Amino acid sequence: MSYRLGVDVGGTFTDLMLINEETGATFTAKVPSTPEDSSIGVLNGVARICEESGIDPTKIDRVMHGTTVATNAVLQGKGAKVGLVTTAGYEQTLQVARSFCPGGLGGWVTFNKNPLLAPLELTIGADERMDASGNVIRELDEAALRKSLEKLKATGQVEALTICFVNAYINGDNEQKAAKIAREVFGDTPISISSEVVPEMQEYERTETTVMNSYVRPEMQLYIDNLQNALHDRMGEELQLSLLRSDGGLASARSAADSPVNMLMSGPAGGVTGAIYFCSRAGYDDILTFDMGGTSTDVALIQDSKARVRRETYVGDVKVRAPSVDVRTVGAGGGSIAFVPELTGALRVGPESAGAVPGPAAYLKGGDKPTVCDANVVLGYLPSDVQLGGKMQISKEAAEKAVQTIADALDIDLLEAAEGIIRVANEAMFGALRLVSVEQGYDPRDFALVCFGGAGPLHGNAMGILSDAWPVIIPPGPGVLCARGDATTTVQDEATRTYIQLAGDVSKEQLLADLKALEERAAQALIDDGIGKQDHEVVYQADVRYVGQAFQITLDFTEADLQERGLDVVTGQFDAEHEQLFSFKLSDGHEILMIRAVVKAKPADLALPEVGSADAELKDCIVHESKFYYDGAWHDAPLYDRAKLHAGIVVPGPSIVMEMDSTTVILPGHEARVDEIGNLLINPVK
Amino acid sequence: MTARIIETNNTPLKKVEVEGVTADIIENALKNARIEMDAVLFRTAMSPGIREQGDCFPMIANKDGKMVVGQFGSFIGPFMEAYNDEIEEGDIILTNDPYMCNAAVSHLPDWLVLKPVFKDGRHIAWTAMFGHMSDNGGMVPGSIPIEATNIYQEGVRIPPIKLYKKGVLQSDILELILHNVRTSQWNRFDLNALVAACNTAGKRCVEMANRFGDDVLFSAMDIMLERNYNAMKFIIQNFIPEEPRTFEDYLCDDGMGMGPYKIKCKMWREGDVAHFDFSGTDPQAQSSVNFYLNEDMFKMFFGSFTINVVDPHIVFNDGFYDLVDVYIPEGTLLKPKFPAAISGRTHALGRIFDVLGALLGSGAPEQMLNAAGFSDSPHLFYSGYDTREGKNNEWFQLFQIGFGGVPGRPAGDGPDGHSLWPGFTNVPNEFIESYFPLRIERYETIPDSGGAGLHRGGNGLSVAYRFLSDGAIGIHDERWLVYPWGVLGGQVGMRSTKKIVRIDGSEEWLPSKCDGVKVQAGDLLYFNTWGGGGWGDPLKRDPQLVLADVNRVLATVEGARDYGVVIKDGAVDEAATKKLREEMAAARGEIGVFNTGPSIEELRATCLAETGLEPPVQPVFR
């Protein structure tokens, strides 16, 4: 027997899922996260899950891990002191930050910039210059640079160093020369250079991204080293630790530690991967994911069971050029606080959140402000009288008291106020769904809507009604889906170069040769991890636009596509996508900005677990009679135990399906069918 | 003259009861539709001006033309008065002529698209958007000729016309217009994008009407307007004094040797209504620096500046217009008579914000008064035929917006080299270098250019452009003569300068506003913008913060003395600092609210010595 373990460290909880690689049987555990050192939470979780399942830790071969260590370092300003070397004259690129002030007209009045990730005190200019075609206009003054670096070193403050020169995206020679001197001066201090981390045009974005890599690198390195050592102690030296990257691929522990800028969205990527895992097996390849947590909701659009990857990652108000699954976040979640500004008398929900502490009023942890969660309790969607394996006490009284403040402010009754809160929150989250679908030229009605996270299944049916995306899919274990996602991803790496050539000027042979060279580079990381070439899957990409556009689309294709269709694989595909997005296309002037090779390990298929008890009838699955309030009236709604529901069974609404980590609401006029995989498929009753 | 809307379904929309939460949901949905308009535009537009710098403004209005969501207020009322024709379903109106739409757009390069939204034959709403086109024809590339003396020189004038008639593109008209501009391909895409954005928002309005009911949508829009009315009523009651308050500021010059021009405004309240009276503002200028200010747009400036105080989440709109009365005398800089030139209006537009900020803030300076900041979007034009090898003498035309020092504010220091305009960003230098014959040798803020203060002003930006091809440049900037003022003891910010170092080594100061300056490959231009004024007493600023700015090369050891801080060997000399601060405090008189620097007479007297440029002469008005 061999096992793999998925571990997702979130803001509040660390979720674990242990999977038997042969039978597909799973065990789950949820332990509190330990933000001061999240490896403690992980190890607690490992101890818990092994104890509860009775499985010997040494039977675990692989730990696959989604982590927010890098993200938190950024959000909490706890990263390294970064030294920065730029081209002379460009020292203040980060200070000017593209001159952008957020907010509307007058937004500047209250805007205060966060401290720079690389302080100006630790920034020096190097005498060198590259032109936009990659020709050296001025050689690097090595002696002068050495002097400046020695002075910088003497401050004793630099914990990580970044080198970013103008136009280095097209030629990194001067950066390499500078790095060589820097290594001589700085010894062990980690050095990140922009032409390696992100060889892409735009000096601010490239500098910020490379600096970000330096900023989180010492912390990530330490975390990964510690975790790996501790896991080796418990599970043996053979154990392989991998980390989930923002783009949904897996990275080896070593490559994660070197390029932590690629790990910033490690958490949300796990959810998307988990959703794809269950939905594709159920025959749904086009889905919208809806991951509703305590403080925010993440949504993404998946087509052909592939997540859209964008070339940017957002953390707080920092944006970096690192590929991440195209997840959009809105500041509305279960903990979002409702309030009524006195003057306008409008009902607002979020973006302030009660978080884990003090939490919603109903959790009796000191919170007294009305939240979305409290409204769910008041309306009966989140039953307060029955808990399944629940360790959380829920007080309906406290929730009612909190929501009553909204009712009073609006001069309406309690239930109306609670429904109002839910509807306003739903509308905000629907806005995010529109953003990834309608706004990108996709009709949500062509997609299924998969809902997970702690609160997703509570709101899923309502979101289905708003978006008309059916069925609404509630996968098994929706509360620990990220951990499942972590456990089901494959190792991946990529290599990129700036191209900037007209498609008409490039031959098929030349493009293929250039891509092959990149493939070679990307494959190396997998080979280093012991994954042989026969197990590689290769996808090529090109970022394309019409000349003059300041916008690009990333296109995927394979070697076979290129062989068969030639450059049309780029231009034809681009025209089609352009027309889909903008309702028109041009026939020529395609510019290839970047090319890329993405190399993945082929996935090993896991067995799926068995679903429910085959002989149970619907009524046997009822654990309690309850009721909820919907659309101005109370409805009787039985509570079902999800663990008992088997494939083919149909649960009519109004009803509530409970499981350990989540609660699913099925509204009147709808029903949920359990499929072979164990998903709940909610549809309107015809 | 009024427009007539033809409906095939004459059932009037009814005012119905809308429960509060439904109104909230419609409010959110409309807000999403507006965000979507921006998104559609950015994806589709092609010119760097719109795509990278975000120079564009969307709006959704109710049936009566009142803006329910958007930014710069509605212009549909004035348009309807001016447009003498029928409007039908599927029509899309295009205009760029400020004189034909009561200055809904304020110069010709802003092209405005307007779409009536119909459902089941009934007119239910409007969507509109305008964006700054890279070129509009006329005297100079970029179509902002400083020396234009009438609007005919500023390029193609488009009166309100139907670009689409009942859904059909009037391609003859479109081709006629595009034939008159230098960047027809960019304009074609950008216009296409504006139309796509309006169509998208129109579609969303129809969907909302389907979802909630036509009458409910119609009535909910009224509720949104009413919310703004109530919020602004509170603001006006609490922030606008009954006692009149006056402020005046200046535009340095008109680019043709005259200046400064005074902008004056008096503000007071009568009952619920705030009054703004621009009497005393100088008559219109001879050149294109006039700003034809729409009264409603000024109301919007006022509202959006203040409403955040009450409900930052509110969807801001037109609902409060009845609470504000604006008077702008005809024939002045702010309401020039046709056919005055107006393309260079950006400077006076920016200065309006300094005036407004001063009027609103001086009632509670500690909480609400900002210094004068980078209230402008100055620009550089560079055009010509690319003479570099392999470039085939291709025509190029660059339009670069500049950035500068945000003022010191109650909230803190002003950011360095930033924009005061929503959504504006610079164009990456690497982008420019790869598409234009330019090398940007330095891109850095100017030490000490932000006015000293407890909260210092942001630094101006110095951009060193090395031209790699022969061509011509145009410069449009301000505050080279009249200082950006400081408040509450804060010092004035440094003024803007433009210096060109020719390939032969000779140096020359260029005027703040000039067109058609020939440059040669190898010439180097320093485009230096101005710093923000300081806020509060600089002698009270923590010396360690002053030292930090010096270490960051944002200030100099010499500049630290403006704060009374003495820095020696990289550390604050505490004793010397104490002494210097005492001396400075004793030497200066009473601290006033505003520090505008030397008088106009003094500025004229020192102009040549300090700026290298002749002072402008007192304007002569005809």
pLDDT in tens, A122-144: 999 999 999 998 999 999 999 99
What span, in angstroms and rounded, lies between the C-alpha atoms of A209 and A74?
Answer: 12
Q: How confident is the model at residue B606 (pLDDT cuts 50, 70, 90)?
A: very high
What span, in angstroms and rounded, lies between the C-alpha atoms of A26 and A679?
Answer: 15
Radius of gyration of the CA atoms of chain B, in A: 25
Residue A608 pLDDT > 90, yes or no? no
Using an 8 Å CB-CB cutoff, list chain B residues near A424: 21, 24-25, 28
Say whether both B83 and B130 belong to one domain. yes
Q: What is the pLDDT of residues A530-557, one digit of tens each?
A: 788 888 999 999 999 887 665 678 899 9
Residue A448 pLDDT > 90, yes or no? yes
Q: Chain A closest CA to B200's CA: distance in Å?
A: 9
Nearest chain A residue (CA) to B401: A99
CB A146 within 8 Å of CB A124: no
Q: Chain B closest CA to A124's CA: distance in Å?
A: 10
Could you please report the per-residue DSSP string of A81-140?
A: -EEEEEETT-TTHHHHGGG---SSTTGGGT--PPPPSS-GGGEEEES-EE-TTS-EEE--
Nearest-by-Cβ selection for B32 from A91, A108, A434: A434
Q: What is the pLDDT of residues B554-576, one digit of tens each?
A: 999 999 999 999 999 999 999 99
What pLDDT shows up at residue A554? 85
Residue (of B170, B320, B121, B345) closest to B231 by Cα position: B320
What span, in angstroms and rounded, lies between the C-alpha atoms of B498 and B508?
Answer: 9
Nearest-by-Cβ selection for A427 from B20, B25, B551: B25
Element at A375 (helix H, strand E): helix A372-378
Q: What is the pLDDT of residues B437-480, one digit of tens each?
A: 999 999 999 999 999 999 999 999 999 999 999 999 999 999 99
Say whether both B383 and B449 belong to one domain. yes
Q: What is the mean pLDDT of residues A570-584?
A: 79
Q: What is the pLDDT of residues A644-661, one digit of tens each?
A: 898 889 999 899 999 877
Residue B372 pLDDT > 70, yes or no? yes
CB B69 within 8 Å of CB B31: yes
Using an 8 Å CB-CB cutoff, list chain A residues near B51: 549-551
Q: Pairing relation of β-strands B471-476 and B379-385?
A: antiparallel
Query: Mean pLDDT lowest for which of A136-145, B275-284, B371-380, B601-610?
Result: B371-380
What pLDDT shows up at residue B53? 61
What span, in angstroms and rounded, lies between the C-alpha atoms of A27 and A20?
Answer: 9
- Per-chain mean pLDDT for chain A: 88
- By CB atoms closer than 10 A (0-12, 13-18, 19+), residue A385 is exposed
CB A632 within 8 Å of CB A615: no
Using an 8 Å CB-CB cutoff, list chain A residues near B403: 96, 99
Q: How confident is the model at residue B393 (pLDDT cuts 50, 70, 90)?
A: very high
- For residue B568, being part of any structural domain is answered with no
Element at A325 (helix H, strand E): strand A324-325
Residue A581 pLDDT > 70, yes or no? no
Specify the amino acid at residue B236: I
Q: What is the pLDDT of residues B188-204, one digit of tens each?
A: 989 998 999 999 899 99
Q: Do B46 and A169 make contact, defined as CB atoms within 8 angstroms? A: no
Nearest-by-Cβ selection for A167 from B403, B418, B430: B430
Q: How confident is the model at residue B78 (pLDDT cuts 50, 70, 90)?
A: confident
What pLDDT shows up at residue B43? 72
Nearest chain B residue (CA) to A467: B211
What whole-number percentage of chain B has pLDDT above 70?
97
Q: Residues B364, B370, B372, B375: what is their CA dihedral angle, to the nearest 10 degrees? A: -120
DSSP A552: -
Residue in the structure block whose two tokens are 């015809």 = A686
Query: Mean pLDDT lowest for which of B19-23, B207-211, B394-398, B497-501?
Result: B19-23
Using an 8 Å CB-CB cutoff, list chain A residues near B552: 95, 119-121
What pLDDT shows up at residue B312? 65
Residue B206 pLDDT > 80, yes or no? yes
What pLDDT shows up at residue B308? 64
Residue A98 pLDDT > 70, yes or no? yes
What pLDDT shows up at residue B176? 97
Nearest chain A residue (CA) to B39: A439
Residue (of B92, B105, B95, B221) closest to B164 by Cα position: B92
**Number of domains present in the structure of chain B:** 2
**Preferred mutation among B203, B398, B434 to probe A, highest tally of A CBs within 10 A:** B434
What pLDDT shows up at residue B307? 77
Residue A356 pLDDT > 70, yes or no? no
What span, in angstroms and rounded, lies between the C-alpha atoms of B308 and A327?
Answer: 29
**Preferred mutation among B34, B309, B469, B552 to probe A, highest tally of A CBs within 10 A:** B552
What span, in angstroms and rounded, lies between the C-alpha atoms of A664 and B102?
Answer: 56
Say whether both B144 and B11 belong to one domain. yes
In terms of residue numbers, what domain contains B27?
4-232
- For residue B89, being part of any structural domain is answered with yes
What pLDDT shows up at residue A541? 93
What span, in angstroms and rounded, lies between the C-alpha atoms of B118 and B7?
Answer: 8
Residue A525 pLDDT > 90, yes or no? no
Question: Count of CB atoms within 10 A of residue A241's CB?
Answer: 20
Which of A53-57, B35-39, B52-56 ranks highest by mean pLDDT? Answer: A53-57
**SS (HEC) of A169-208:** CCCCHHHHHHHHHHHHHHCCCCEEEHHHHCCCCCHHHHHH
What pLDDT shows up at residue A104? 75
- B92: β partners: B164
Say whether both B354 and B256 belong to one domain. yes
For chain A, percent helix, then strand, then coil, each to nearest 5?
40, 30, 35
What pLDDT shows up at residue A105? 76
Cα-Cα-Cα-Cα dihedral sign, residues A151, A153, A154, A155: positive
What pLDDT shows up at residue B55? 64
What pLDDT shows up at residue A497? 85
CB B395 within 8 Å of CB B140: no
Return the half-sphere exposure (C-beta side, CA atoms, 13 A cut-off) of residue B298: 30
- For residue B358, being part of any structural domain is answered with yes
Using an 8 Å CB-CB cutoff, list chain A residues near B21: 347, 416, 419-420, 423-424
CATH class, A492-601 region: alpha beta
Q: Chain A closest CA to B604's CA: distance in Å?
A: 32
Say whether both B208 and B287 belong to one domain. no
Could you please report the per-residue DSSP string of B423-483?
A: T--PPPHHHHHHHSSEEEEEEEE-TT-SPPSSBPPPPPEEEEEEE-S-EEEEEE---SSSP
What pLDDT shows up at residue A113? 86
- For residue B569, being part of any structural domain is answered with no
Q: Chain A closest CA to B530's CA: distance in Å?
A: 14
Residue A25 pLDDT > 90, yes or no? no
Q: What is the pLDDT of residues B529-548, one digit of tens each?
A: 999 999 999 999 999 999 99
The structure's pTM equals 0.85
Residue (of B140, B133, B65) closest to B104 by Cα position: B65
Residue B257 pLDDT > 60, yes or no? yes
What pLDDT shows up at residue A509? 94
- B535: β partners: B455, B487
Nearest-by-Cβ selection for A101 from B28, B196, B420: B420
What span, in angstroms and rounded, lies between the C-alpha atoms of A301 and A322?
Answer: 19
How far is C-alpha B284 from the geometric centre of its chain's CA atoms? 20
Element at B265 (helix H, strand E): strand B261-270
Q: What is the mean pLDDT of residues A455-461?
A: 95
Say whether both B390 and B531 belong to one domain. yes
Using an 8 Å CB-CB cutoff, list chain B residues near A93: 443
Using an 8 Å CB-CB cutoff, list chain A residues near B444: 89-92
Element at A319 (helix H, strand E): strand A318-320
- By residue count, chain B amounts to 622
Residue in the structure block whose two tokens are 């119909």 = B118
Residue B54 pLDDT > 70, yes or no? no
Phi/psi for B605 (5° steps) reads: -65, -35
Q: Do A90 and B444 make contact, defined as CB atoms within 8 angstroms? A: yes
Phi/psi for A636 (5° steps) reads: -70, 135
Residue (of A92, A502, A129) closest to B433 by Cα position: A129
- For residue B522, being part of any structural domain is answered with yes
Nearest chain A residue (CA) to B547: A121
Q: Do A428 and B28 make contact, defined as CB atoms within 8 angstroms? A: yes
What pLDDT shows up at residue B1? 54
- Per-chain mean pLDDT for chain B: 92
Q: Helix A142-154 and helix A173-186: axis angle, to 10°?
A: 40
Decide: helix, strand or coil at residue B380. strand
Q: How confident is the model at residue B2 (pLDDT cuts 50, 70, 90)?
A: confident
Query: Mean pLDDT lowest for which of A48-57, A169-178, A226-235, A574-583?
Result: A574-583
Check residue A133 and give left, alpha or beta (phi > 0: left; psi -120 to 50: alpha). alpha
For chain B, percent helix, then strand, then coil, each to nearest 5?
30, 25, 45
What span, in angstroms and rounded, lies between the C-alpha atoms of B540 and B534?
Answer: 12
Nearest-by-Cβ selection for A346 from B51, B227, B370: B227
Say whether both B356 and B501 belong to one domain. yes
Which one has a higher pLDDT value, A402 or B421?
A402
Q: What is the mean pLDDT of residues B219-223?
A: 94
What whole-number percentage of chain A has pLDDT above 90?
51
Q: How confident is the model at residue B496 (pLDDT cuts 50, 70, 90)?
A: very high
Q: Do A439 and B554 make contact, defined as CB atoms within 8 angstroms? A: no
What span, in angstroms and rounded, lies between the C-alpha atoms of B129 and B59?
Answer: 6
CB A348 within 8 Å of CB A424: yes
CB A214 within 8 Å of CB A72: no
Say whether both B477 and B605 belong to one domain. yes
Q: What is the pLDDT of residues A263-274, one digit of tens each?
A: 988 888 889 989
Residue A261 pLDDT > 70, yes or no? yes
Cα B584–Cα B586–Cα B592 angle in degrees, nearest 5: 85
**What are B576's two structure tokens?**
């010397």
Q: Chain A closest CA to B567's CA: distance in Å?
A: 16
- A314: β partners: A319
Residues 6+ apart with CB under 8 A from A516: none
Q: Pairing relation of β-strands B4-5 and B86-87?
A: parallel
Residue B218 pLDDT > 70, yes or no? yes
Could you give the C-alpha distances from A679 to A450, A457, A556, A648, in angstroms and in order? 10, 12, 30, 11
Could you give the C-alpha distances from A255 to A96, B117, B491, in angstroms and in order? 32, 54, 52
What span, in angstroms and rounded, lies between the C-alpha atoms of A142 and A138?
Answer: 12
- Report how many helices (DSSP H) and strands (DSSP E) chain B contains, helices first: 14, 26
What pLDDT shows up at residue A165? 98
Residue in the structure block whose two tokens are 């500041």 = A331
Say whether both B204 and B269 belong to one domain. no
What pLDDT shows up at residue A605? 66
Residue-range domain boundaries for chain A: 86-209, 336-420, 492-601, 610-670
Q: Chain B closest CA to A98's CA: distance in Å?
A: 5
Q: How confident is the model at residue A377 (pLDDT cuts 50, 70, 90)?
A: very high
Residue A610 pLDDT > 70, yes or no? no
Q: Do B412 and A112 make contact, defined as CB atoms within 8 angstroms? A: yes
Using an 8 Å CB-CB cutoff, list chain B residues near A550: 46, 48, 51-52, 431
Residue in the structure block whose two tokens are 């060193």 = B464
Q: Do B431 and A548 make contact, defined as CB atoms within 8 angstroms? A: no
Using an 8 Å CB-CB cutoff, list chain B residues near A343: 230-231, 234, 310-311
Q: Chain A closest CA to B256's CA: distance in Å?
A: 30
Q: What is the pLDDT of residues A283-300, one digit of tens each?
A: 999 999 999 987 778 899
Say whether both B282 and B184 belong to one domain. no
Query: Mean pLDDT lowest for which of A245-259, A453-467, B161-175?
Result: A245-259
Residue B272 pLDDT > 70, yes or no? yes
What pLDDT shows up at residue B102? 80
Cα B209–Cα B211–Cα B213 angle in degrees, nearest 5: 50
What pLDDT shows up at residue B402? 92
Q: Do B418 and A108 make contact, defined as CB atoms within 8 angstroms? A: yes
Q: How confident is the model at residue B40 (pLDDT cuts 50, 70, 90)?
A: confident
Using an 8 Å CB-CB cutoff, list chain B residues near A107: 422
Establish whether this prediction's ipTM goes over 0.90: yes
Say whether both B451 and B399 belong to one domain. yes
Q: Chain B closest CA to A54's CA: distance in Å?
A: 51
Q: What is the mean pLDDT of residues A428-445?
A: 80
Q: Is the peptide bond before A218 cis (omega within 30 degrees of 0)?
A: no
Say whether both B427 and B467 belong to one domain. yes
Question: Count of CB atoms within 10 A of residue B8's CB?
Answer: 10
Phi/psi for A220 (5° steps) reads: -65, -40
Residue A395 pLDDT > 80, yes or no? yes
